[in-house]
Amino acid sequence: MSSKYKPLAPLAGYLCFLLKAFLVVQVLAVADQIWTHYSTKSSVSLLNSIEEPRDTTAESPLPVGLEEKAPQVEENKSETNPSESLDATPLSDSKELEQESVRLKQETDALIAESEKIIEEADQVLRSANTMVVSLYASLALYAAYALLYVITSILFLKWVYRTYRNLRAFSGVEMKRSPAWAVWSYFVPIASLFIPPVVMEEMWVVSHRSASGGLVGLWWLSEIASIFAGQVITKSYTGALAGHNAIDAMASGKLFLLGIGSDLVELVLTVLTLVLVTRITAAYKQHIVEDLAYVPSAVVAKG
């Protein structure tokens, strides 16, 4: 192998490590989505189950009946001394006052019980809100790592495609149909990006393995197309849900949850297939190209 061509194995090693790390983050993202959905759904159910507290500000401080007798009692108090007030109050009025006092105590106990229930429900809502806040920050950190790994892994993958295609074109002894630059730029050209990348990957597999891929490349590209389509569907669905409802209701939606899980699973499959392709093509390149070149006296082999 000419010294101006860099070895493939170190780059492939870094790429496989990043793909495995990206795979772990994707699994965590699925778990986070499941947790967020069910915790949000539980919070929404809790909020819907809470009844509005009864408005007691408009009620009179004294029950009916006792309220009518209060002026009379005050008048009797003003006309008599404290020692005579008990004798001046009729026995029937005293019994009614006692009954009203019992009823007032019962209503007070009921209000205290209702207040304790409201406080307990408010405490549950507060705990649920704290859980949602913690879950939100964890999700933001997770998806920040997801985005960072996605960018770095994508760059390294394109670099691997360029180097693999370039080295195979130079040392395989097989006439390759495209240039290494076009093998990479085909991912960005609108129409060509649907057809050229799988053809390039299939060519890399065939030349490195010296055999057909057996449909693995086709499955890989099918998962790529499914991932793009699922991403567009989930984006439109979330946008439409947030336009018609609030964010909490959107996160608690069962339909959006299933769409999100489906999209994440498709991306998981895509990552696994990409890892398999990179690993196998690199291993075949080492076996059929690097090791064969080791027996050519005029070649300067940079193993790895």
- Where residue 210 falls (left for φ over 0; alpha for ψ -120 to 50; beta otherwise) is left
Tell me how crowded residue 187 is: count the other CB atoms within 10 A of its CB: 16
113 belongs to a structural domain: yes
Query: Which pLDDT value is given to residue 242?
Result: 62
This prediction has a pTM of: 0.70
Query: Residue 58 pLDDT more than 50?
Result: no
Most confident listed range (143-147, 151-155, 236-240): 151-155
Q: Pick the closest to residue 29 from 147, 157, 134 (CA basis).
A: 147
Q: Which is more confidently placed, 94 or 52?
A: 94
Would residue 95 count as lying in a domain? yes
The answer as to whether 28 is a domain residue is yes
Structural domain including 256 reads 9-293
Q: Which residues of 31-55 are buried (b: 16+ CB within 10 A; e: fewer)?
A: ebbeebbebbbebbeeeeeeeeeee
Q: What is the mean pLDDT of residues 282-288?
A: 92
Q: What's the pLDDT band for 66 if we cut at 50, 70, 90? A: very low
Q: Report if residue 304 sits inside a domain.
A: no
pLDDT band at 294 (very low <50, low <70, confident <90, very high): low
Flag whether 302 is in a domain.
no
Of 293 and 269, which is predicted with more confidence? Answer: 269
More confident residue, 197 or 237: 197
Where does the pLDDT of residue 199 fall: very low under 50, low under 70, confident under 90, or very high at 90 and above?
Answer: very high
Residue whose token pair is 């539980």: 42
Give the residue with greater pLDDT, 220 vs 117. Answer: 220
State whether the Cα torsion 259-265-271-273 is positive or negative. Answer: negative
User: Using 50, 70 and 90 to split pLDDT, how confident is the model at 292?
Assistant: low
Is 91 within a domain?
yes
pLDDT score at 241: 63
**Total domain count for the chain?**
1
CB pairs under 8 A, 24+ apart, for 150-155?
150/22, 152/18, 153/15, 153/18, 153/19, 153/22
Tell me which of 11-15, 59-63, 152-156, 191-195 is least confident. Answer: 59-63
Q: Confirm whether 92 is domain-assigned.
A: yes
pLDDT of residue 222: 95
Is 301 among the domain residues? no
Cα–Cα distances (Å) from 41 to 17, 47, 239, 240, in that order, read 36, 10, 19, 19
Taking alpha carbons only, the member of 216, 210, 214, 175 closest to residue 284 is: 210
Please report which confidence band the pLDDT of residue 65 belongs to, taking 50, 70 and 90 as the band edges. very low
Which pLDDT score, from 0 to 100, does residue 6 have?
86
Q: Measure the CA–CA gap between 250 and 238, rounded to whole angstroms.
A: 7
Res 107: pLDDT: 83
> What is the per-residue DSSP string for 36-59?
HHHHHHHHHHHHHHPPPPP--TTS
Segment 89-104 mean pLDDT: 74
